[in-house]
Chains A and B, each alone.
Chain A
């Protein structure tokens, strides 16, 4: 029997429309807006000024703390302004605007396609370099990778899990990466293993990507026996760190804890590839793959894009915005965010752009809770979503904290399954923000 996580989960229609579309390279836009903060953690500071010339790969924003990440220019040209732009969150955030002139790369970057197998750097040097190259988790949460790789004193990492699950419907960028860049992926895994000093790594892939599983199995034989490909039963939200750990190793991350407390570190396949490029090719994180998809999109596909490219451009590449567009979502349909503006820049965390039809995107009328407990049954974290929503409605934040609302992974299974169309996740997210603020205020006292 295939492995999966034991509790909860749903199975939304997969709709992987672009799974068999090879990746293409999206052209360079005329102007990019590179947000200063594209990661979870401390805000950054800009180190370029108006009218400065920058090259591809030049550092333009410097990390201001340990839990923070550098940002590099993804194009060559002139900095026109440092202004605010509406990003995927719907709010205005500061960004560096660069007018593109040619495509001139930093000389230290190796742009050849050769695969370099030897890992020359030591573990510590790898972590340092990952930090320098601005690598963050590309699964969507954008947590700085070097922080994850620095195992705190007192805990020991036993396994590395590479997350190739891609359980979100519609998205196929990780799938394509596993098919097209398997060699780099395996070397990237070896680099991460060296940095973490572990002997065993798993690559978790859901069973709906048979071709990727076979391909990876063939490639991994050439390199090592320490990396195992684990096929997993299709179940949303298996791509969640905690669910993946439970599915692959059977271990449980304690409430409020990190994967390292269970002796595991999880990295996305996209991150692994970015680490390979950073360590072996000296290339900072300036481009990634995004899926452009949707039922009425003319040509769904997967594109390598430069960080800071406006969403408009990838939509144009896929044949323009369809007439019956209801919502344009950054990310997948379950966890993604509806965009306010199509000029919003695509960032390190953009794994896909989903164009939903009006019919598909409409929310139902909110009806009263009928106590069917479907939300409780599907919650992979074992929470009680209906209760968390009630508490959030009444704004009793101490109680919300006691009911562990901070353990919610925001997978959206509860809102998906609710027969009364109640916006459960909206309220829980709102509650999480309030409780997080409360905890911060308490710890700063």
Chain B
């Protein structure tokens, strides 16, 4: 009996003593942490994707608390709702930002962009791009090994087995991981647009028109047809490549119809009414149909 009592007393005293030491040390070396950091972190998506430019959600929460205003901070995944919540917690105001989405600026399916070589090395885009020009004549287009699919944490991008191009779906949060992963810089973050409607040039080929067209039938050839038809100065042409400024674009779709190579894409628009089916328009109609098919897969 004695030995039990003794051990209880000894252990109890040791425990009490250690507890006291720990208590005083904790007091001495206490680091003050703003409780708001925890609160902010709780409303963040906890995806730790790094889309905001910080190392993770905790890091971003700290930055939010420290910052004087929230203008330069944005959680692309949570979007305006989350940023509004963060602003309420911190008692600051935040401007609503246009939600963004990733778009694939390459249109070169095997049908339009003939494979001229066989690449049988390591199957990542970064490697093929670094060690070999690519397996088609287009030096700018998608390589199709899916580096973007691998880095996406939201299951928002997948490879279409038929077109061999990546397809972005609604789960995209515009974190920008795929933009960084793509060695060919094909993927761009663009505003989602009204009712998810978007128009963009689905090509990044900077070759002269003839060379571009030879390597890929649906390449932008820099013909300036869209530039001339645009009423809003939204289109610029640089290095034989058109670019549509999403902030100036009014989604009138005039450029889409004039593009001779169908390099300009419209997404989520209602189908057009076909006015007359003359001989010359037939081709365009077929191309339109193809495009709509692609739209469906994208949706």
Q: Does chain A have a CB within 8 A of B162?
A: no
Query: Which A residues between 222 and 276 are near B, CB-CB below 8 angstroms?
Result: none
Q: Does chain B have a CB within 8 A of A181?
A: no
Query: Which B residues between 110 and 141 are near A, CB-CB below 8 angstroms?
Result: 116-117, 120-122, 126-127, 130-134, 139
The answer on a CB contact under 8 Å between B117 and A430 is no
Q: What is the total number of residues of chain B having a CB less than 8 Å from a CB of chain A?
A: 13
The answer on a CB contact under 8 Å between A363 and B120 is yes
C-alpha spacing A15/B95, complex, angstroms: 71
Q: Which residues of B contact A35 (CB under 8 A)?
A: none
C-alpha spacing A86/B137, complex, angstroms: 9
The answer on a CB contact under 8 Å between A340 and B121 is no
The answer on a CB contact under 8 Å between B127 and A427 is yes
Of A3-11, A69-77, A87-95, A286-294, the one touching chain B: A87-95
Query: Which B residues between 85 and 130 are near A, CB-CB below 8 angstroms?
Result: 116-117, 120-122, 126-127, 130
Q: Which residues of A contact B133 (CB under 8 A)?
A: 86, 89-92, 340
The answer on a CB contact under 8 Å between A423 and B132 is no
Given contacts A90-B132, A90-B133, A90-B134, contact A427 B122 (CB under 8 A): yes
CB distance from B213 to the nearest CB of A (A): 16
Of chain A, the residue at the smallest CB distance from B132 is A90
Q: Which residues of B contact A341 (CB under 8 A)?
A: 116
CB distance from B241 to the nearest CB of A (A): 15
C-alpha spacing A92/B130, complex, angstroms: 13
The answer on a CB contact under 8 Å between B122 and A426 is yes
- Cross-interface CB contact of B132 among A338, A362, A433, cutoff 8 Å: A338
C-alpha spacing A426/B116, complex, angstroms: 21
Q: Does chain B have a CB within 8 A of A429?
A: yes
Query: Which A residues between 410 and 436 are near B, CB-CB below 8 angstroms?
Result: 423, 426-427, 429-430, 433
The answer on a CB contact under 8 Å between A433 and B130 is yes
CB distance from B97 to the nearest CB of A (A): 31
CB distance from A202 to the nearest CB of B (A): 35
The answer on a CB contact under 8 Å between B127 and A430 is yes
C-alpha spacing A362/B120, complex, angstroms: 8
Q: Which residues of B contact A426 (CB under 8 A)?
A: 121-122, 127, 131
Of chain A, the residue at the smallest CB distance from B117 is A340
The answer on a CB contact under 8 Å between B121 and A423 is yes
The answer on a CB contact under 8 Å between B126 and A430 is yes
Of chain A, the residue at the smallest CB distance from B120 is A363
Query: Which A residues between 64 and 119 are near B, CB-CB below 8 angstroms?
Result: 86, 89-92
The answer on a CB contact under 8 Å between A363 and B121 is yes
- Cross-interface CB contact of B139 among A91, A366, A423, cutoff 8 Å: A91
CB distance from A430 to the nearest CB of B (A): 5
Q: Which residues of B contact A90 (CB under 8 A)?
A: 132-134
C-alpha spacing A444/B132, complex, angstroms: 27
Interface centre among A91, A341, A363, A426 (most CB of B within 10 A): A426
5 pairs of A and B residues whose beta carbons are closest in the complex? A90-B133, A423-B122, A363-B120, A426-B122, A90-B132
Given contacts A90-B133, A338-B117, A423-B122, 16 further A-B pairs with CB under 8 A are: A91-B133, A91-B139, A92-B133, A92-B139, A340-B133, A341-B116, A362-B120, A363-B120, A423-B121, A426-B121, A427-B127, A429-B130, A429-B131, A430-B126, A430-B127, A433-B130
CB<8 Å pairs between A and B, sample of 25: A86-B133, A89-B133, A90-B133, A90-B134, A91-B133, A91-B139, A92-B133, A92-B139, A338-B117, A338-B132, A340-B134, A341-B116, A363-B121, A426-B121, A426-B122, A426-B127, A426-B131, A427-B122, A429-B130, A429-B131, A430-B122, A430-B126, A430-B127, A430-B130, A433-B130
